Amino acid sequence: MVSRVFIANMIVTAALMLSGCFRTADAVAQAVATEAPAGLELPAYEPTEDIVVRLGYTASYNHTTLCSDWVAWELTAEEADGQNDGQYSFSRDPGVAWPKASREDYSRSGYDKGHMAPRADMRWSCQALEESYYFTNICPQDHEMNSQAWRKIEELTRRLAKCYGRVWVVCGPIFDSDNPQKIGSVSVPGAFFKALAVNTSEGYKTVGFLVDNNPQSFSPRHYAVSVDSVEAAIGRNLFPLVDEAAEAEYDWKVWNH
């Protein structure tokens, strides 16, 4: 009888070949068989943080900035190919206490309602897609930044999910000062961070991105840094379940897909 593991290996191998990211059979088998710790995408956080759990992502909502300090999710290869395409309006998160952001804050501000967990990562579920439009998952983004540099990093992330089977993601805003510019009651970040982790035949690999909210380049590689560098910029431990050595540096060959 053909085992379920063998069938899974064949399916993943075929998917990797079709996506243009072929791995050896041994590497594919390891990726399928390896059990990742639950919540690997979650950063370290304090008990006092307002943690919001949605179907497709987890966030820490900040009632001062009215942006989430971080949004984290796991994206599988199957989810990256989600086909739901419903249209939803940006809305207040019904599960978040006041004060919280609203459409009025963004109205005529000149800033995009920038997704942290992108809608394209949530198309595997109508509920997940709808919840990606909650303001818990939104920050003010410069239009060029949102439509170019940030979008290209999002597209890269989905390609990585298809190449490696899954990718763990955490991202969020970085504020320049204790008194940032505001639109309505929402603080405008000076930059954004994103950190990715994948499990390879050589163990976990990580990479970070630090992107100005007024970018000078649209290339993801231009913004690539080690996860240690991101942690230094935001003052938070990312991927605490991953060995520290994997966060000290990055090899662009792992991410160039």
- On whether both 248 and 183 belong to a single domain, the answer is yes
- On whether both 153 and 188 belong to a single domain, the answer is yes
Q: What would the two tokens of residue 184 be? A: 């309505």
- On whether both 22 and 78 belong to a single domain, the answer is no
- On whether both 148 and 211 belong to a single domain, the answer is yes
Q: What is the pTM of this model?
A: 0.87
- On whether both 2 and 61 belong to a single domain, the answer is no
- On whether both 28 and 118 belong to a single domain, the answer is no
**Amino acid, single-letter form, for residue 98:** W
- On whether both 154 and 228 belong to a single domain, the answer is yes
> In a 10 Å sphere around its CB, with 0-12 CB exposed, 13-18 middle and 19+ buried, how is residue 74 labelled?
buried
Per-residue pLDDT of the chain (257 residues; tens, 9 = 90+): 433 333 344 434 444 444 446 444 444 444 444 567 889 999 999 999 999 999 999 999 999 999 999 999 999 999 999 999 888 999 999 999 999 999 999 999 999 999 999 999 999 999 999 999 999 999 999 999 999 999 999 999 999 999 999 999 999 999 988 889 999 999 999 999 999 999 999 999 999 999 999 988 889 999 999 999 999 999 999 999 999 999 999 999 999 98
Structural domain boundaries enclosing 205: 37-255
**Amino acid, single-letter form, for residue 92:** R
Tally of domains in the chain: 2
- On whether both 17 and 117 belong to a single domain, the answer is no
